[in-house]
Amino acid sequence: MNTIQVIDIVTLILALAIAIIGHEIMHGLVAYKNGDPTAKAQNRLSINPLVHIDPIGTILVPAMLHFSGAGFLFGWAKPVPINERIVMQNGGYDGLIAVSLAGIAFNFTLALIAVIVLQFVPPAESLVTYFITKLLWYTVIYNIVLGVFNLYPIPPLDGSHVVSHFFSKMGIHSVAAFYNKISQYGMILLMIIIATPLSVIIFQPISYILRALLP
């Protein structure tokens, strides 16, 4: 393995880790701003990656996708604990929606910052500039992937929580009840979508956005 390949792998891992760990931290931070100390009390607002690593979502799934040549990476960190009752008491349904959207907002913001910074990075004529370019490039890709993917209203993705809380705010609680019933099957449904031609429907919008941001 040559130096360029090592840089590619290191920057890929760094970008993915920052995207998924930052995503979870933001959920906990916004919950904390709404009076919920749960994540902070369990040290889950820390930037220490060890407290956020999920053996399957952070290591196994990304590694399998990478070495199988899947053409994309996806993963997740250990979910940050949220006490929805406390958030509801302090922020209402708007607070719950804000907590659900916090990770997505982080991903999109970080992707846009990386796009802007890329415009000022000199051509990758040295290992240092190559490292910086690849890290920013992967940062755009994985934050867009995570941001868009989590918008889909499929449990346990954030989009399902946003939809559930929104309709509950409107007084339509049947949507939340429906999601509660199917939540145990959500991960199975996601794996089926990712592993079948249905994945085209999910990832096509991501491809459009990435082509626009990284021509």
Report d(CA 174, CA 95) in Å as an integer: 20
Q: What residue type is 199 in one-letter code?
A: S
Report d(CA 101, CA 30) in Å as an integer: 9
Which amino acids are annotated catalytic?
Answer: 24
Confidence of residue 199 (pLDDT cuts 50, 70, 90): confident
Residue 177, burial from CB neighbour count under 10 angstroms (0-12, 13-18, 19+): exposed
pLDDT in tens, 15-66: 988 999 999 999 999 999 999 999 999 999 998 888 998 887 777 777 777 6
Could you please report the per-residue DSSP string of 144-159? Answer: HHHHHHTTS--TTSHH
Return the half-sphere exposure (C-beta side, CA atoms, 13 A cut-off) of residue 67: 6
DSSP-derived 3-state class of residue 69: coil
pLDDT in tens, 55-80: 877 777 777 776 776 666 677 788 89
Give the pLDDT mean for 98-127.
95
How many domains would you assign to the chain?
1
Q: Name all contacts of 186-192 with Cβ < 8 Å and 24+ positions apart.
A: 186/154, 186/155, 186/156, 186/157, 186/160, 187/156, 189/154, 190/154, 190/157
Q: What is the CA radius of gyration of the chain?
A: 18
Confidence (pTM): 0.90
Domain span at 143 = 3-213
Report d(CA 59, CA 35) in Å as an integer: 32
